[in-house]
Amino acid sequence: MTIGERIKELRNALGLTQPQFGERMNATQNTIGRYEVNIVTPSSAAISLICRVFNVNENWLRTGEGEMFIEKDETLLAKLSAEYHLGADDVALITAYLQLSPKDRANIVRSAAIITKAMADGQSDS
């Protein structure tokens, strides 16, 4: 099995269309399609991104050996990412947020509440 076929297998296992899969890694449907039919071989950076965004075992993606997914703490984030169709930027934001101190997270939550209220107030004026 080629790396392109493994990308397609991964995408199907996640229940994503080519556009959905591409959106999560900031790539076009055309790019994903070209990977899947082996017209283009994904770069090392693209492979790393796929592995990070979808919690994929890089050895499996490159060689077909081992399990498709990595079972570790990031599994929950990968599941949320798939369920809510989060892109690479979303995952990076959530990861950065989780690495903050509780005090810094509380400050962000307060700021987000103020912004959300202001947006809601602005919409009700329309």
Domains: count for the chain: 1
Q: Which amino acid is at 20?
A: Q
- Got the DSSP string for 18-54? HHHHHHHTT--HHHHHHHHTTSSPPPHHHHHHHHHHH
Coil, helix or strand for 101?
coil
- Each residue's pLDDT expressed in tens, for the chain with a length of 126 residues: 999 999 999 999 988 999 999 999 899 999 999 999 999 999 999 999 999 888 899 999 999 999 998 866 556 787 888 889 888 888 889 888 888 888 898 999 999 999 999 999 887 665
What is the CATH number for 20? Answer: 1.10.260.40
Q: Specify the pLDDT at position 92.
A: 85
Q: Specify the pLDDT at position 101.
A: 85
| Inside any domain, residue 70 | yes
Helix/strand/coil percentages in the chain, nearest 5 = 70, 0, 30
Coil, helix or strand for 59?
helix
| Inside any domain, residue 60 | yes
Output the CA–CA distances (angstroms, integers) from residue 58 to 16, 85, 125, in the order listed: 19, 21, 50
The range of the structural domain enclosing residue 52 comes to: 3-97
| Inside any domain, residue 32 | yes
| Inside any domain, residue 71 | yes
